[in-house]
Chain A
């Protein structure tokens, strides 16, 4: 168990357009989902924490109006990159926390490669 999917796996968009990325926990309910960004040869950088039914909490330096997060259900969170620019090109990865029991394991999706031209 603990499978997380992401869609799309890659996307190319033009500068100024918006892109939506979906993250789903397939076989468990996730009270919390996380969105990360990763640059080549670097570690994961947390962008925001998404809790079902409430507003996302953004990390310092992450523009909440640019990276819109919606966590509509216990199995789905979406990240929308609005008015994308080439510098937004990156590998975006979501993770889901199963919740309960004082555990901290996060299960990751396969990632979405975004290229903005």
Chain B
């Protein structure tokens, strides 16, 4: 099946710093979704992207749909302690109906 690789696997940053992470695929995706999961909770949808090149913001979060359609990026500006969690990218499997493939995740830890 599809594999979505996320980079970095984890990052430890200081409060106030900007954060960048990415998600890459070996094949083309028509939709990219970004989720955040906190410990012991289900993932929460942050941003949905539907067009190549699209740039969408949600507060301090900005995500971009790569023009090759094989990658997507998530940026968090001025990180705060509550940004801690695991960020997953996801996209619909080709021919898989509404099934999503999830990325490997990027764990974010924020130092005060």
Q: Per-residue 0/1 for B37-74: is the Cβ within 8 Å of any A Cβ (1 yes, 0 no)?
A: 00011111100100000000000000000000000000
Is A108 among interface residues, defined by CB-CB distance under 8 A?
Answer: yes
Is A67 among interface residues, defined by CB-CB distance under 8 A?
Answer: no
Cβ–Cβ contact B33 & A108, under 8 A: no
Main secondary structure of the interface of A (DSSP, over half): strand
> B residues within 8 A CB of A97?
98
Q: Which of B67-112 contact A (CB under 8 A)?
A: 88, 90-92, 97-100, 102-105
Is B31 among interface residues, defined by CB-CB distance under 8 A?
Answer: yes
Cβ–Cβ contact B44 & A106, under 8 A: no
Cβ–Cβ contact B40 & A111, under 8 A: yes
> A residues within 8 A CB of B98?
32, 49, 97, 104, 106
> A residues within 8 A CB of B103?
43
Q: How many residues on B have C-beta within 8 angstroms of the other chain's C-beta atoms?
A: 22
Main secondary structure of the interface of B (DSSP, over half): strand
Select from chain A the residue with minimum beta-carbon distance to B6. Answer: A43
Cβ–Cβ contact A104 & B100, under 8 A: yes
Select from chain A the residue with minimum beta-carbon distance to B4. Answer: A43
> B residues within 8 A CB of A74?
none
Is A54 among interface residues, defined by CB-CB distance under 8 A?
Answer: no
> A residues within 8 A CB of B42?
4, 6, 93, 95, 108-111
> A residues within 8 A CB of B35?
108
Q: How far is the CA of A70 from the CA of B40 in the complex (A)?
A: 25
Cβ–Cβ contact B97 & A49, under 8 A: yes
Q: List 14 A-B contacts (CB under 8 A).
A: A43-B102, A43-B104, A43-B105, A91-B40, A93-B43, A95-B42, A104-B31, A105-B45, A105-B48, A106-B33, A106-B90, A109-B42, A110-B41, A111-B40
Known A-B contacts: A46-B100, A104-B98. Give 6 more (CB < 8 A).
A49-B98, A104-B48, A104-B91, A104-B100, A108-B35, A110-B42
The 5 closest A-B pairs by CB, nearest first: A108-B42, A104-B92, A111-B42, A43-B102, A93-B42
